Each structure stands twice: as structure tokens, then as C-alpha cells.
């Protein structure tokens, strides 16, 4: 096996091993994790909201949150490959690896690793804190007489739920902080917005790139706000999830990916209008 093949094999194995190490605890949390059993006060009005179905379901969240960035990566990298002067193809076991395929593997791998890291941070916080969701009383209907003056201001820890038919729902009612929908949507859309800033170079429209970035951020915010209006989370859960996902996305782009390194800077595409001497030397940043 030649040196380049050894390098590629070692890199791929290491990448998948790192992803497996981060993803495994997520599966263990989902199937075997038990959240911290936090108590409640009978007069806590923030826990008495009705249970509602999610406006943005988990299926919609994960499909859109994964497919939209990945498709964007593939299209953008293909355009860059077509516009470039030619990139040397890597070879693995005597077979050439298309430069577009290798670049897509790199960016999708970094993106996926960040998704797993953000998800694991969210799960660790959820299971460690065990905050009750706003629909706690509706889902659980605890067997406690809250009209009893003795229970009115008492912090109640030992209780049983009358509604025990859905074990998954009873587990989920303790996983309010932070919001998983908010952290996931923030990570995926902030990552995509930063990717577009680094790699989208078409200048036919001065505002197109920033419009697409705005759409990405808006999608994340709409997802986050829906979790409050659906009574799935408290506003502080959503805020914490959004901040956590955004921070992980920024750190992943800046310190793990090579999107903003000089070697992988975006390849400029000629504008429809040639730059004047004044605009080229004035030092003023262009919009796009």
C-alpha cells in the first residue's frame, strides 16, 4: 500500500472512530438514560400548560436540518470544482478519488462531527438537570392533592403519575433544559450560514449570499420559537439551546474545518461589472 493510500485509510478510520465515540453516548442516553428526578411546587403555573403536538416534529427537524446543509455543500463544492483551474485527485489503492468527492467528504464529516458534539452536550445537560416541561401537569397528572394547604408551598419530590400509559412521554417530560430542537437547528443553520459566507462566491446579486444566510438564521429562530408556543419548553430552555448550538457551530467552523483558512479561501468569480481603480484601492468592504 502506497503512502497516500495509507494516509487516506488512516484518516477515514480515525474520523469514523471519533464520530463513533461521540455518537455512542447519545444512543445510550436515548435507550437507557434516566433523567434526574426533579420535584415541583403545586402553585407553579409554568408547569400547567396543555400538551400540544409539535409544530415542527423531530422527523422534520432532522431531515431538513441534515439534508439542506449536505445538499448545499455538494452543490457549492461542485461549482467550485468546475470553476477551479484543476485540483489534483487523490489515489486510494490505485483508484483516483474525485476532488469533489474528497472535498464533500471533508466538509460533511466535519459537519456531522459537530452535530454529534452538539447533540451530546445537549443530552448531558438534559439528563443531568431534569427540568420539567411546561406541560408537566397535563402529561403526568401527579397523585398529589394540591388543594391541601400542606402541599401548597411544599417542594414535592416523591410522587407518582396517574397517566402511566406512555413511558416515553413520562421520560420526555423531564428533559426540558436545554431545548434539543433549538440547539440542533441553531447548530445546523449557523454552520450553513458560515459555510455560505466562506464558499459562496457568485456575485451576480450583491445580496443573494446574505439573503440565504438570513433564511438559515430565520429557520433556526422559527424552530426555536415554536418550542415555546407549543409549550414544549420554557423560554430559558430555548435561549440556552440556541446559544449552545450556535457556539458549537462557530467553534466547529473556525477550529475544526478549514473553511476560513487562506489555503481554502473561496475562489472569486468575476463580477458582472469590472471593479474601478477607486473601489479596488479604497479598502471598503463589499457587500457580497
Q: Where are the beta strands (DSSP E) in the chain?
A: 40-41, 90-92, 95-97, 155-156
Q: How many alpha carbons lie under 13 Å from residue 20 in its C-beta half-sphere? A: 6
DSSP 36-50: ----EETT-GGG-PP
User: CA–CA separation, 26 vs 116, rounded Å?
Assistant: 8
Rounded (10°) angle between helices 58-83 and 180-199 = 10
Q: What are phi and psi of 153, to 5 degrees?
A: -115, 15
Q: Which long-range contacts (CB under 8 A, 24 or more apart) does 101-109 make?
A: 103/77, 104/73, 104/74, 104/77, 106/258, 107/73, 107/77, 107/195, 107/257, 107/259, 108/70, 108/73, 109/15, 109/19
What are the residue numbers of the active site? 181, 233
Grid coordinates 420526555 are at which residue?
A: 172
Amino acid at each position: 500500500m502506497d503512502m497516500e493510500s495509507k494516509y487516506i485509510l488512516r484518516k477515514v478510520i480515525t474520523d469514523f472512530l471519533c464520530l463513533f465515540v461521540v455518537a455512542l453516548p447519545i444512543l445510550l442516553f436515548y435507550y437507557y438514560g434516566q433523567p434526574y428526578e426533579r420535584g415541583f411546587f403545586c402553585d407553579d403555573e409554568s408547569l400547567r400548560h396543555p400538551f400540544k403536538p409539535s409544530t415542527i416534529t423531530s422527523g422534520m427537524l432532522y431531515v431538513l436540518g441534515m439534508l439542506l446543509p449536505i445538499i448545499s455543500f455538494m452543490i457549492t463544492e461542485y461549482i467550485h470544482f468546475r470553476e477551479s483551474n484543476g485540483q489534483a485527485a487523490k489515489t486510494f489503492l490505485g483508484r483516483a478519488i474525485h476532488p469533489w468527492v474528497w472535498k464533500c467528504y471533508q466538509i460533511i464529516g466535519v459537519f456531522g462531527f459537530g452535530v454529534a458534539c452538539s447533540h451530546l452536550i445537549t443530552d448531558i445537560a438534559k439528563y443531568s438537570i431534569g427540568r420539567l416541561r411546561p406541560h408537566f401537569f397535563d402529561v403526568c397528572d401527579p397523585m398529589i392533592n394540591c388543594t391541601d394547604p400542606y402541599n401548597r408551598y411544599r417542594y414535592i419530590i416523591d410522587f407518582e403519575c396517574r397517566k402511566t400509559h406512555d413511558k416515553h412521554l413520562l421520560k420526555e417530560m423531564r428533559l426540558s433544559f436545554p431545548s434539543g430542537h433549538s440547539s440542533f437547528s441553531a447548530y445546523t443553520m449557523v454552520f450553513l450560514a458560515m459555510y455560505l459566507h466562506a464558499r459562496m462566491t457568485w456575485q451576480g446579486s450583491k445580496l443573494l449570499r446574505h439573503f440565504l444566510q438570513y433564511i438559515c438564521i430565520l429557520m433556526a429562530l422559527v424552530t426555536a420559537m415554536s418550542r415555546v408556543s407549543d409549550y414544549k419548553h420554557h423560554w430559558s430552555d430555548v435561549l440556552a439551546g440556541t446559544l449552545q448550538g450556535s457556539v458549537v457551530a462557530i467553534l466547529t467552523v473556525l477550529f475544526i474545518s478549514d473553511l476560513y483558512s487562506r489555503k481554502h479561501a473561496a475562489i472569486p468569480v468575476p463580477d458582472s461589472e469590472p471593479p474601478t481603480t477607486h473601489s479596488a484601492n479604497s479598502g471598503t468592504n463589499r457587500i457580497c
